[in-house]
Amino acid sequence: MKKKLVATISIIICIFLSGCGILSISVDKDGKEENQTPGRNIVIGFSQLGAESDWRSANTESMKTTFTKAEGYEFIFEDGQQKQANQITAIRKFIQQEVDYIVLAPVTETGWDTVLQEAKNAGIPVIIVDRMIDVDDDSLFTCWVGSNFELEGKKATKWLERYVEINEIKHKDIHIVNIQGTIGASAQIGRTKALRDAADANGWDLIAEVPGDFTQAKAREQMSSLLEQYDNINVVYCENDNEAFGAIEAIEAAGKVVGNNITEGEIMIISFDGVNENAIEFVKNGKIACIAECNPLHGPRVQAIIELLEIGGSPDKLSYVEELFFSADRTVTQLSIDERNYGVVIP
């Protein structure tokens, strides 16, 4: 009885408070009540580059689940569909809407100076996430948070160097192709540079570099074409997991074997991201030799930046995310899977 009485009284109080406009109770898409933080409504315009990969989906999910009404935010999301023109249009929309902050996940590094000058003229801070931008005046953005893509590539090429030495393979017998990400994206630039440098240093035969756009379909198409042109490929460097899935499909469709025993004629896959649970499973069962993690959970990182700005603080200009490395021969694999609470399983 007492519990019922307390419940009734608290409902009356909420109705009274909401009637006075002190506590606005909003209802979310599932009909669940979302009590908004009283007297706070930070408007954030997020220009996401697209939905090309599992990494991107996890990144978008992280932002959407962080910037909720209940936490005192109004989150405006625009999907650029992998086109810079769409992202520029979105930023101009945010300026018109007089948002408090613009968050940009840029599809490529260049071409942002004009629109970011417009945001600066409007007095709207711009936070860059994930890939980097290349602008003449770095006051056009407040700060950037993302990954060190060249380091990710170095982790992967260092692993391959060790694999070659342990298995007493001659470096010149490594015949590698690179299925690159979106050309001009920092992730592609850094990962490609790391491979080129390692191939030069070790004398690996870097047969070809082809754009895979970070998508499974494009990578499958490119891998099929490469297999028709070259019969000595023994390592495929995929600049994200979705490309690795596409390459594996193409290799198996061609009747070849994906695996880590290149001396037995298997074709080794090296990948990046580690978002998708299937990709991690592939590392465990040997279909993918190793994955350099690229962590997509930027929501809480951007939130910390915005909350710091809200109280007049100044965030670091560049913040790099700590990232793991997964390979079947490293105990870190199990540790990092247990710790991770995200991932998109392919149906």
326 lies in the binding site for ligand GZL (CB under 6 A):
no
131 lies in the binding site for ligand GZL (CB under 6 A):
yes
Beta bridge partners of 19: none
- Say how far apart CA 231 and CA 245 lie, in whole Å: 20
Binding region for ligand GZL (CB under 6 A) out of 53-61, 94-102, 117-125, 259-267:
53-61
Query: Shortest approach of ligand GZL to residue 193 CB, angstroms?
Result: 14
- Give the nearer residue to ligand GZL in terms of CB position, either 159 or 245: 245
Written as six digits, the tokens of 150 are 């060249």
55 lies in the binding site for ligand GZL (CB under 6 A):
yes
Query: Do the Cβ atoms of 271 and 240 come closer than 8 Å?
Result: yes
- Give 3-state DSSP helix, strand, coil % of the chain, rounded to 5: 45, 20, 35
155 lies in the binding site for ligand GZL (CB under 6 A):
no
Q: Which of 90, 130, 164, 288 binds ligand GZL (CB under 6 A)?
A: 130
Q: Which of 48, 56, 99, 326 binds ligand GZL (CB under 6 A)?
A: 56
- Say how far apart CA 286 and CA 288 lie, in whole Å: 5
CA dihedral 238, 240, 245, 246 (to 10 degrees): -60
Burial class (CB in 10 A: 0-12, 13-18, 19+), 20: exposed
Burial class (CB in 10 A: 0-12, 13-18, 19+), 60: buried
- Give the nearer residue to ligand GZL in terms of CB position, either 73 or 245: 245
62 lies in the binding site for ligand GZL (CB under 6 A):
no
293 lies in the binding site for ligand GZL (CB under 6 A):
no
273 lies in the binding site for ligand GZL (CB under 6 A):
yes
58 lies in the binding site for ligand GZL (CB under 6 A):
no
Burial class (CB in 10 A: 0-12, 13-18, 19+), 331: exposed
52 lies in the binding site for ligand GZL (CB under 6 A):
yes
Binding region for ligand GZL (CB under 6 A) out of 48-56, 91-99, 112-120, 153-161:
48-56
- Give the nearer residue to ligand GZL in terms of CB position, either 174 or 195: 195
Q: What letter would DSSP give residue 326?
A: E
Contact positions toward ligand GZL, by CB under 6 A? Answer: 52-53, 55-56, 130-131, 147, 185, 187, 214, 240, 272-273, 294
